[in-house]
Structure 1
Amino acid sequence: MDKNEKMTDSEFPTPNSGKSIEDWLGQPIPRGDVSNVFLPVSESYAGIALKIPLQIQRGEKDGPVVFVTAALHGDELNGVGAIRELLLDETFKLKSGSLVLVPILNLLAFDRHSRYMPDRRDLNRCFPGSPGGSLASRVADNIFTELVGRCDYGIDLHTAAVRRTNYPNVRADMKDPKVAELAKTFGAEVIVDYAGAAGTLRREACLAGCPTIVLEGGEVWKVEPAIVETAVRGIKNVLRHLDMIDGDIEVPETQMIVNKTQWVRADHGGFLQYHARPGQVVEKDQPLATNSDLLGRENRLMVAPFDGVVIGMTTIPAVGPGQPVFHVGKLPKNTDADEVHESRQETESLEQRTVEDLSSNVLVIKHDDQRDMGRS
């Protein structure tokens, strides 16, 4: 796909439910305007309506409707930071189409600094939801009906789970041509080809006719500058591709479409010394971490299962048997690791900055430089 290629108006799919962006729950949303809308999704114990704040930006001309959501898991805040960058940017303006920005999708979980709903359900396993189901299922139904039902495309922003960090990567069903086009245009260096688990927002949105991708990047409870910049760049890339804003699409020189991933798990309890960092390209059997006892007498080397890229890793060096330590994506055929490394060395490379920033909170040393800790 040529990075400057754009869709024609005839290629824009129509909203999948027939709901219009021009009127939201009785509130007119005029062209060329910016409107704040509050979407009721549930009620408090006092019977007071719980409403999700969102902003709708409309261009002067017709075009696709795109949603961007964050904090579907209430503790994942990097996406919130990215959406706020767009909300507070006075120079950001659509020329066509409509953009729905939702900084906090799961307000119930966000208020508790938690991944989960108050009923302990994962909202991102409850879509498309049911109006007569559990609390999470009812919230999912309202979101799916009122938000996804009005949109043609979607971008859902996530981070790694608690005590882990992710190198920014797009998750997308690359067998769907429209989703694949969206994923490539977003411009992440790593794309994981996976349709998503049943009940996830992106999988169910795609099945309903709204091509949707996920960005995974960084940690919970943080707003990390390089991750925010990655997300904002990707959102703008998609909007430029859809001819909704002006500007050039910015993508890395190398994009890796990963079809296989594997978690490298600890066989024993111990304390970790990391030898690899998020985003690093590794060779098969390359040392990833040394797992030793508390006196450093037993060194158990954890190695890469294949030539790959480190998608994610734990940030807690204390580990128990079976716990995941490194998430490695298998390199696509004909991917040159040296070329990936060289492309990151360019001046002001976002990919290189991201690698460096994500490894700043863990101690990473080369295995060859590690002193003899008394191997037994």
Structure 2
Amino acid sequence: MSDTPRKKRPIGSWLRKKIKPGEKKRLLLKAGEGFTGVGVHLPLMVWRGLEDGPVLGITAAVHGDEINGTGAIRKLIQEPPFELKRGALILVPVVNITGFERHSRYTPDRRDLNRTFPGNEKGSLTARLAHLIMEEVVGRCDYIIDLHTAAVRRTNFPNVRADMDDPDCARLAESFGAEVIVNSSGPAGSLRREACRARCPTIILEAGEALKVEPSVQDMTQRGLTHIMAELDMIDVADDLRPDTAPHQMIVQGSSWVRAGSGGFLKFHVAPGDTVQKDQPLATSTGLLGKEHETIVCPHHGIVLGMTTMPAVSPGDPILHIALPDTRKQFHSLEKSVDRIEEDTLENQVRDHLATSITVVEHTLVDEDDEVELKESDEI
């Protein structure tokens, strides 16, 4: 990364409006026109502290149906848990405004906005929106936290993803306080990757499900954002009021999807956030009449980072996303830490809430001799 100072756009004037220290202003950025020719606008809020300091961008719904972050930003606007003393916040509840209005992950021209950055001001609708975000948001920020959820019909256990080789990204990721940090630079064309290339350190939070605003995810998001703002000296938080953080933190270099070997209807044996051991049963696939087709076992030691919420699967469908500790020692340390988490902690609340989207049952061995074949005369 170059040592040349980065030239940022000013925070105090925007769209011919002045934003004074201590002020909050709601703004609308024109993002283009819809099919009717009527303007499409991107709503955001700028909140300046009383003193100079870093500019932190908080964005959500780059995928238009991933709205947990939208709810978290709205709550931050309506019920701020702190007084912003230094620096400024740029709050963008919905980046993909055209996808959001259609309850869709994608933009109306069927593109993935989070594979289109840095965009092009003369390109497609999606490319123009990406360019606008890079210029007007990334171009004014010192740091960005981008909030995501799992794709539709999946759920994610809260985890931060960051390029841990970048000291500023590592600082943000560790300060957030999630149990799991996935070390990666992000896919090509993603907001995170391109913002980092523009020398604006950016991390993402993956948590919860699409098309939902989940209370426990909101609480964990707000806690993590408060941690980061305290770390950046944007807010004053007394030690006795500082929100609790995760009882442990694991940085993983990789993850793996476990897939169905056959089609069927799943019984899950684990939930998001569970630690799992190699060869442990994860799910049992049965036919609609209950005959067992296969037991899907874990190929690695790890922690359940994400999983499908749709029990009906085809061969090859992804079922569980497992974060892979670097060593067996790291896994056992994680396993012991998870076992010691007290019941009333936010971490356990999130585990319990995410598990409500699936039914988890203990794995039991089926004795084939006990199965009774249906006779032609038996009714179904």
Smaller-chain TM-score bracket: over 0.9
Aligned residue for 1:360, secondary structure, equals: helix
Compared with structure 1, are the counterparts of its residues 58 and 371 closer, same or farther at alpha carbon in structure 2 (3 Å cutoff)?
farther
The partner residue of 1:339 within 313, 321, 336 is 336
The partner residue of 1:315 within 309, 315, 324 is 309
CA distance in 2, matches of 1:267, 1:30: 60
1:297 matched to which residue of 2?
Answer: 291
Task: Report the Cα offset of residue 31 of structure 1.
Answer: 0.7
CA distance in 1, matches of 2:350, 2:80: 26
1:256 matched to which residue of 2?
Answer: 250
Aligned residue for 2:171, secondary structure, equals: helix
After superposition, where does 1:1-376 map in structure 2 within 5 Å?
16-89=6-79, 92-247=82-237, 248=242, 250-333=244-327, 334-335=329-330, 336-344=333-341, 346-368=342-364, 374=371
- Specify the code of the residue in structure 2 equivalent to 1:311: L
1:8 matched to which residue of 2?
Answer: none
CA distance in 1, matches of 2:175, 2:338: 21
Aligned residue for 1:312, secondary structure, equals: strand
Task: Report the Cα offset of residue 40 of structure 1.
Answer: 1.3
CA distance in 2, matches of 1:273, 1:286: 14
Task: Report the Cα offset of residue 375 of structure 1.
Answer: 10
Compared with structure 1, are the counterparts of its residues 90 and 207 closer, same or farther at alpha carbon in structure 2 (3 Å cutoff)?
closer
Verify the 8 A CA contact 1:31 1:60 in the aligned structure 2: yes
Q: Deviation string for 1:51-86 (max 9, x for gaps)?
A: 111111111111000000111111111101111111
Verify the 8 A CA contact 2:151 2:209 in the aligned structure 1: yes
Verify the 8 A CA contact 1:79 1:157 in the aligned structure 2: yes
Verify the 8 A CA contact 1:41 1:143 in the aligned structure 2: no
TM-score, normalised by the number of residues in structure 2: 0.91
Q: Which moved more, 1:252-261 or 1:318-327?
A: 252-261
Task: Report the Cα offset of residue 88 of structure 1.
Answer: 0.5
Task: Report the Cα offset of residue 164 of structure 1.
Answer: 0.4
CA distance in 1, matches of 2:365, 2:48: 56
- Specify the code of the residue in structure 1 equivalent to 2:175: T
Compared with structure 1, are the counterparts of its residues 125 and 159 closer, same or farther at alpha carbon in structure 2 (3 Å cutoff)?
same
**Runs of 4+ displaced beyond 4 Å:** 369-373
Compared with structure 1, are the counterparts of its residues 271 and 25 closer, same or farther at alpha carbon in structure 2 (3 Å cutoff)?
same
1:3 matched to which residue of 2?
Answer: none
CA distance in 2, matches of 1:196, 1:330: 17
CA distance in 1, matches of 2:262, 2:16: 59
1:7 matched to which residue of 2?
Answer: none
Task: Report the Cα offset of residue 261 of structure 1.
Answer: 0.5
Aligned residue for 2:356, secondary structure, equals: coil
Task: Report the Cα offset of residue 216 of structure 1.
Answer: 0.5
Q: Deviation string for 1:164-198 (max 9, x for gaps)?
A: 00001111111111101110101111111111000
Compared with structure 1, are the counterparts of its residues 242 and 365 closer, same or farther at alpha carbon in structure 2 (3 Å cutoff)?
same
Q: Deviation string for 1:262-296 (max 9, x for gaps)?
A: 10001111110100110000111111001122233
CA distance in 2, matches of 1:343, 1:132: 55
Verify the 8 A CA contact 2:250 2:334 in the aligned structure 1: no
CA distance in 2, matches of 1:371, 1:40: 64
TM-score, normalised by the number of residues in structure 1: 0.92
Compared with structure 1, are the counterparts of its residues 267 and 62 closer, same or farther at alpha carbon in structure 2 (3 Å cutoff)?
same
Compared with structure 1, are the counterparts of its residues 141 and 348 closer, same or farther at alpha carbon in structure 2 (3 Å cutoff)?
same
Quote the sequence identity (%): 49
Compared with structure 1, are the counterparts of its residues 317 and 341 closer, same or farther at alpha carbon in structure 2 (3 Å cutoff)?
same
Q: Look at both structures and tell me which one has the larger radius of gyration over its CA atoms.
A: 2
Unaligned segments of structure 2, at least 5 residues:
374-380
CA distance in 1, matches of 2:292, 2:280: 19
Unaligned segments of structure 1, at least 5 residues:
1-12
How many residues were matched structurally? 363
